[in-house]
Amino acid sequence: MKKALSRIAAVLMVVILFGLVIEGCAKRVTRVSSDAVTDISGRWNDTDSKMVADKIVSDCLVAPWMGEWLSANNNKRPIVIVGTIVNKSYEHINVETFVKDIETSLISSQKVRFVSSRNERDELRDERRDQQEGWTADKTKAKIGAEIGANFIMKGTLNTIVDEAGGTKAVWYQVNVELHDLSTNEIVYIGQTKIKKVIEKSSTRW
């Protein structure tokens, strides 16, 4: 009888311990607003991307080149495209989302017109060619040769500088952009935006 009770007690202990392990491994997920600042790791994140994109566009569109363009073109809005943004930082950063944030900010400003990127144009051209094969009604066919060319292209780099001592690490994110006149290759605007983060080291390693 005592042996049977001991076995039961041992089984119960195993079940309890197993339950505690499962509980300890469970994750807690909290749904938050997409606009909420969630700077958990200290690395480049969605908040940084949007903030820098908005600052870049804001600074660019009030620079002298804009006034000169409007004066020379009867206040006609310039047509802009975003080219390559090169990630030269030590982090793996999804540059595509950053480019989209810049494009969104440019379009939302309503101060420029915007055309499709190189990759997007290839897909659109394939669709236009497909419409010419006889399957699409003539009245609804997209015209070939009616594309609008961009006047300016924005290019840039994303860099980081890291300084670490003791239990503290400082990270500088620096984004440099240039706006090029596509007709003349003239650089009409150069801008720079920085973010600095100070991260205190925890008991775990970086």
**The total number of residues written for the chain in this structure:** 206
pLDDT band at 183 (very low <50, low <70, confident <90, very high): very high
Q: Which of 30-44, 67-81, 91-105, 160-174 has the highest mean pLDDT?
A: 67-81
The DSSP code for 140 is G
pLDDT of residue 12: 63
Task: Give this prediction's pTM.
Answer: 0.75
> Is the Cα torsion angle 181, 184, 188, 191 positive or negative in sign?
positive
Share of the chain above pLDDT 70, in %: 78
Nearest to 78 by CA among 148, 132, 8, 14: 148
- Quote the pLDDT of residue 16: 64
Q: pLDDT at position 206, please?
A: 47
Pairing of strands 113-114, 79-87: parallel
- 83-93 residue pLDDT tens: 999 999 888 88
24 vs 114, which has greater pLDDT? 114
- What per-residue confidence (pLDDT) applies to 196? 87
Would you place residue 7 in the very low, low, confident or very high pLDDT band (cuts 50, 70, 90)? low
